[in-house]
Structure 1
Amino acid sequence: MACGAVTDKMGAEFLECQICLDGLQQPKILPCLHTFCLPCLERMLEAEPGGKFSCPVCRLDVPLAQDGGAREFTKNFKLEDATQKPLKSVSFSTQEPETACTACDTGSQSMYYCIDCTDYLCQVCTDAHDRMKVFQSHRVVTVEELRSSEVADDLRSRETSKCPCHNEVNKFYCTTCLSVVCLHCVVVNHKDHDYLEVQEAAEKERVRLSEKLSTVQRRVEQQEQWLEQAKPLQHSWPSQLERCTNDINLQAERMIQAVVKVKEEKIAQLHATSATREKQLNEAIDAVEVELAASKSFVSFADKMLQYGSPSELLSSVEDLQDLLKEVSIEKSTNQSTKALKNLRFDSPTNDLDEAIATLFGGVKQVRASLQPPCTTKLKSKMAASRTHGKAQLIMATGTKGMGDLEFRCPLSLAISMDDDIIVVDRDNNRLQVLKKNGIFLGTVELDFQPQSVATLTNGELLVTGDRHSIQVIDKHGRQSRVLKVGGAIEEDEVTNGIAVDRQGQIIVSIAYQIFVLNTEGEVTLTFGDKDSLNYVLWVTSNSSNQFVVSDELNHCVKVFDSSGRILFSCGSEGEGGGQLCHPVNVVTDKEDNIIVADNKNNRVSLLGKDGAFVRQVLTAETHGIREPLGLTLTREGYLVVSDRSYEEGCIKIFRLS
């Protein structure tokens, strides 16, 4: 009877399986706290084998034990009791027999119910119950009062389970084992453990959960509000797709019409030019033919005169022949006629035609909707982790693993050429790859050594390290200009590694734990660094104050030196926290002299202030899909280009920084 009231308060949705939409049978609770029938879960697993399945309500991926299947899920005892007890409860309607006293065997009609003893009592047993001191604190109510909601609430608060081992009521909660136990269990198995009475432990947990529940409730409200804003966007998405498709088709028609118009103009221009040139050519041919006939006639006359004419005839004709020679100038006529000999040709910019058309055509843009991001919470360790939006937006990703075009094996370093192309050090393929700023492949530069780093000189030439103690100076087509020798390196077996060019055009390069500064002529003007201050793998850059910024990979820090090589400060230490680094690789500085470093083993890119103070994580694995970042460079527009080892998602990425 009381359980029936409790069931009514819980609501039908809690007692109904959301798969079969029927009453729960052998209810099993999932890690996401949703409950279903065991037979329904088993049928789902038969249809979806593979070791896991998704909750039908929240779609959470639920892992399964290898052999146990759905039976390994925790039984929902509360709902099991709620679905079974109403069937066993005795109804007090006038159409059914009254409940007999359960405290004696006389079969007398019960008049009262002891909430603490959970017994129905006849009048005699009630009088005896009231006289005994041990029962003085018990609450006894009439059978009519048992129907009230107040008593039902009291019953629910006192409800407990029985020990499966001793069949005794579980009156204690072992805080060591985090389980409810009976008195026998306390004495035998939990005597050295900490425990509380069930009611006291439940009240503490109720208070703690209530505090957390209020936070979750606020998040629920925020998520509902976000969904209210997002649903219209979802519904309008097909119309947006149709509208964009129509716009693309309209733009294509416009471009086709424009191309047809230009085509007709070009053909008309061609025909006009052709008519003019054809007339000039015909006139030139006629003139040359006339001149040719006159020349042949002169040659024939002169030849006969020279062969058969007498001296007197020759002398009498000399003056006429000389006049004809002046009039018939073969060289002059040939030069004049040559001007009319021109071929027709149409020059088409085929090399960049696709790119030019794509630029003129326009592109599809995703404009951020004015929605507040939903606030989510992680209820359990198995729940899906939420992602927060970062301050960098991915513009383009390209490149995969391999040895072909746009395929890389360790894209270790990046640089921007003077004409805004992206230069990628493809280390393990012994080459550079050149991409346009929109990711289009341009070409490769094959090398006979394993390159380590690349930088760009102000004249457009590229500096490539990795060839022992030399710096190769080449153009982006691979033509070698010269070789710069770096003298004074202590470690003979190490190669040139990190390289950069400062605002003054000086070249900064590292070999092991030493930093070398070369002037524009390639002469070493400064050397600093030793084993006590720096480690063997260094990456370098500079800032607007001509200070040298060094990423010390094996010491897990970034150090800044002044223009004379004296250390100013060091920032970072090994770890995963904010401002900590783990194998930092390439490093660059922005216009404000902030330091951006590829935090390789932490799978992120970190931003430090010009004083070395930690500002924020620019890119992370969770938000931006970064995996072991290697190369960094900034374009002239302020975009951040990153190379990493996430070959499946594109290992060359371009981000817009906000």
Structure 2
Amino acid sequence: MASSSPKNALIDEYQELLTCIMCTETFKNAKSLSCGHSYCKNCLKTWIEKNKEKRNETFPCPICNAKHEIPKNGVDDYHTNITINSMVEILENQLSRDKNSKANCDICAQEGDDVPAISRCVECAENLCQACNKSHKRSQGTRSHNMYDLTGDPEKDARLALDNYVKRNIQCPKHQDQPLKFFCSKDKAIVCTHCCITEHPGHACQAIEEAADKEKRNISALFGLANQRKELFEKFIQDSSDNLQSYEENRQSLLKEIDTDHAAKCKELDEHFAKLHKELDEQLARRRKEQNENHTKLRNEAKAVANEKTKKIQAKQDQHELEKGIAESTLLHLTALIKHGHPVDIMNSSTDTAKKLQDWGRIPEEDEDPVDKYTYQPGTFDTANMVKLQHGIIPETLDKGCIVKKTRYCDPKVTRKVKLGDKNQGVKEIYGATKGYNNTIVLCHESPDGMSSYTADTFTKQHTANGGFNDVCCMQGNLYAAIDCNNKCISIYNHNLVHQKNIGKFQRPCGICEAPGKGLLVVDNTDKCVYLVDYNDGKILATIGKGHLTDPLFVTINSNSTVFISDYGAHCVKGFTMQGEEVNKYGTQGGGPDQLNVPSCVCIDPDNNLIIADQHNHRVVLVDENCKFIKYLLEPEDGMKYPQSVIINNEGDLTVGAESSGDLFVIRYKQ
């Protein structure tokens, strides 16, 4: 069946359908799995022996990886694909003779006589001469058989055989003298007349031809879904290719900008130090080495940025290719059933067709990550100060370039709402919060416990600590530092919320956060400032905001060491340096743009943006590190009253806790 000559055009038309994907040869005793894919009996047997999972006696389909249980009698228990086996038999037998040769009578051939055939019996699958044809029609056992006339043209006769073989009777495996004529809709079984009477009495049994005609509607519907999936995955694959190309173009652009900036900086260094080479030869060499190292680092960073994303896109593209292949193979199988499917085959696959219709009823959505664009920000030289020697020390005036990812924001969407009080009795008001260790969050709230850790995904309570707490943060050594309102100090707990020690003493402590590598920042509402205290003993190391704050509540710090403090009384958030200099401010009293009404908790997101709980306006605000408004992440119509705590979870989404109700909202605001 491998020929592609004109006389075998019919073979070429069906070659893909009738070729086993495992041995790449024409099917031999095809067996069908419930996922719809067929294989040679021996190929399937060999595959099961090599790939079966002994623990649960299953094996994966070689095409779609669907799991199948191994039957008691092995491959013998799988449905024989009557349609494929019959098509193979017809094409191989009918087209084995030359174009001009005549088909001989199969019955006379048994006696050694070559007598031209004029007809073919569908049931017996035999060619008959004129005499045998008459005898066949008169015989008691064969007079009801379906027969058709031969044309003498091998290809036309083969097509006639394909069109007529569906009329062939398939004998009941339990009653060999009875054909399978009925379908029991209750037991989903194909049965003969004797089976209807003895094993399915009273059941609704209809003629198999009628049942098959109805089932073809499901097959046609599944065919449409398969074709739709194929086209969708072709689109996904093309989109992946476009994304890969976009990343490559972005990478090349970054490398070009880095190299251009590197050349410009080197030229600037050369021109500057050419005038001073006698005095600054050594410094020139150091600066050039530093610039070259930075150049190499930036190029490697640019490559890593593109390579990591490229691998993810390629992995998804491979999955799309697999899904497309599954859809194509299903289309091939369904085409054969619609065009040539024997009623027995059609009804044998009815349960599997219904399941796949259900599984594929939901149209797959493209899950490609949006294309992140990266830009290069060149550094600068202050050549005026570069050569002023001060006791042999040259000021560090080189501002290195960096690669910056452009954040892609989406419309904020509340992806989850949790009434914590329903899950944990007694929880009414949420105060401070922090992203905890081991994929948890830690909340300070009004309840018998006072502070508890919860799983970040299900919000199931893990550990508790008794007391009155207003805020909490992580600190060095996998510890938590909490504002203990009862004892007016900082209480230190381990990751299981077991108390370790108390440090410091304050008038009215409210908010707390870690100042990485420096200590803890603590808001004292009575002293109207923020104290930087030592990790170990609570000793005050610095004072921030004294004289600038009216009613401070909560504090956070960004990667540039800017300290942001929410000022309850002034209805604003102010930013300070670690030295106490006020550098920026957001908010005035009110409910309009750039206004706040009782700001409470604040936090920093991974892009160094500031998030503010605008409590009495019932909203959450996102501003950049310079206190410029970006967007609202939560608004009154979202349904949360008096938002209080704000933290970024492990997925980069915002988790907001309500002071008044104990509600938790999870909000996605970035792509």
User: Normalised by the size of structure 2, how large is the TM-score?
Assistant: 0.43
Which structure ranks higher in relative contact order (CA pairs < 8 Å, sequence separation ≥ 6)? 2
Larger Rg: 1
